[in-house]
Amino acid sequence: MTAPDAKSRIDKLRTTIQTADAAYYGAGESIMTDAEYDRLYAELAALEIKHPEFLTSTSPTQRVGNDQTAAFTKAPHRRPMLSIDNTYAADEVRAWVERVQKTAADGPLAFVGELKMDGVAAALRYDRGALVAAITRGDGVTGDDVTVNVRTLKSVPLSINYAAPLEVRGEVFMSFAAFARINAALTEEGQRPLQNPRNATAGTLKLLDPAQVARRTLSFSAYTLLSEAHTATHLENLAFMQGLGLQVALHSPALPDVDAILDFCETWRTRRHTLPFPVDGVVIKVNSLAQQERLGATAKSPRWAIAYKYESERAETVLRDITVQVGRTGVLTPV
């Protein structure tokens, strides 16, 4: 194959793979079989080895870079990453809706309910269509630059079809399946198992070896867009991010009133247990971005959002037995 032919084939393969990733993580659709995907990916990787002159950092093969170790320098946030006021009481949700209605009383309000994934918040920055940085929340003003590790997440597109600078905020989290798999391996190696998926996510993001991060298969779901894109509502922002190939937080359609909001809160109290990842509550947000702006924020949290959390399910149990497992290397682990 001539160099120009190889270049055009490489471009074609990258576009096809990126389109498949975007459809899978954005819209939740498979546009090809896994086998077809693997075949195209292998073809691309082979061509890039033959023609290293065409390698780019946004190629789907470059999620784990060469010889990279994570450095975790501090990075300032462009806008503070706030947290949300929490409540466990339906009455407080009611009071919040009334307050919001009074403050933003320029017409009817609509709300959006979203799942609150239990992971670690992160901000992804894109510029000229390429992922350029991923930063943890940190103290809200400065976070850790975990770009090399976040690049390994399959649900984070390395390139998007949008040239202007843009920031996407969302949650990095671990599925229960990944958590169980990692703990089985740690136990087998005689190491202490991880406590819960949220701690496991935080620990994984700080690993020094991106290849090891890739094997732990973290996920990312977006819930905030900071950009010059001219959208009017939060729901439009979610659709916009989904269109870029990002996975967005599971959410409701527009909720018109407090009854619809409380219904959403109650429905997910039990339904969350059918999901393959940890959810510790729901977040209710004002849909109109103009109304969000008018409501503004306190030093700590925006007035346009409230988190309704579910009590963590702890119960007293009886310890019946302890068995001692023998690992491959002869290490004894009490289970």
The residues carrying an active-site annotation are 116
Size of the site for ligand IVH (CB under 6 A): 16
Least distance (Å) between residue 177 CB and ligand IVH = 20
Q: In the complex, what is the shortest distance from the CB of residue 78 to ligand IVH, in angstroms, rounded to a whole number?
A: 14
DSSP state, residue 62: G
Smallest distance, ligand IVH to C-beta of residue 316, A: 28
Applying CB under 6 A, among 17, 249, 262, 265 the residue interacting with ligand IVH is 249
Report if residue 223 touches ligand IVH, rule: CB under 6 A: yes
C-alpha pair distances (Å), 322 with each of 85, 195, 199, 330: 41, 18, 25, 18
By CB under 6 A, residue 172 contacts ligand IVH: no
Minimum distance of ligand IVH from residue 115's CB (angstroms)? 6
Give the ranges where the chain is alpha helix by DSSP (H).
3-22, 34-50, 90-103, 147-150, 176-188, 197-205, 210-215, 234-243, 258-271, 289-295
Task: Map the footprint of ligand IVH across residues 127-156, applying CB under 6 A.
Answer: 137
Return the number of other C-beta atoms located less than 10 Å from residue 76's C-beta. Answer: 10
Residues 266-285 that bind ligand IVH (CB under 6 A): 283
**b/e per residue, 83-102, with b = 16+ CB within 10 A?**
ebeebeeeeebeebbeebee
In this structure, what token pair is assigned to residue 81? 């990453």
Three-state DSSP at 207 gives: coil
Shortest Å, Cβ 8 to ligand IVH: 41
- Distances 329 to 188, 229, 317 between C-alpha atoms, Å: 9, 56, 32
> Among 82, 95, 229, 260, which residue sits at the site for ligand IVH (rule: CB under 6 A)?
82
Q: Which of 224, 237, 291, 292 binds ligand IVH (CB under 6 A)?
A: 224
Restricting to residues 105-124, name those near ligand IVH by CB under 6 A: 114, 116-117, 121
d(CA 292, CA 33): 42
The residue among 121 and 241 lying less far from ligand IVH, judged by its C-beta, is 121
Select from 20-28, 59-67, 78-86, 190-198 the region that touches ligand IVH (CB under 6 A): 78-86
Residue 36 Ramachandran class (φ > 0 left, ψ -120 to 50 alpha, else beta): alpha
Q: Which CB atom, from 159 or from 247, has the smaller least distance to ligand IVH?
A: 247
Question: Which one of 126, 171, 204, 219 is in contact with ligand IVH (CB under 6 A)?
Answer: 171
Cα dist from 83 to 98, 130, 173, whole Å:
21, 27, 17
Tell me how far apart the terminal alpha carbons of the chain are, to the nearest angstrom.
Answer: 57
Residues that bind ligand IVH (CB under 6 A): 82-84, 114, 116-117, 121, 137, 171, 223-224, 249, 283, 302, 305, 307
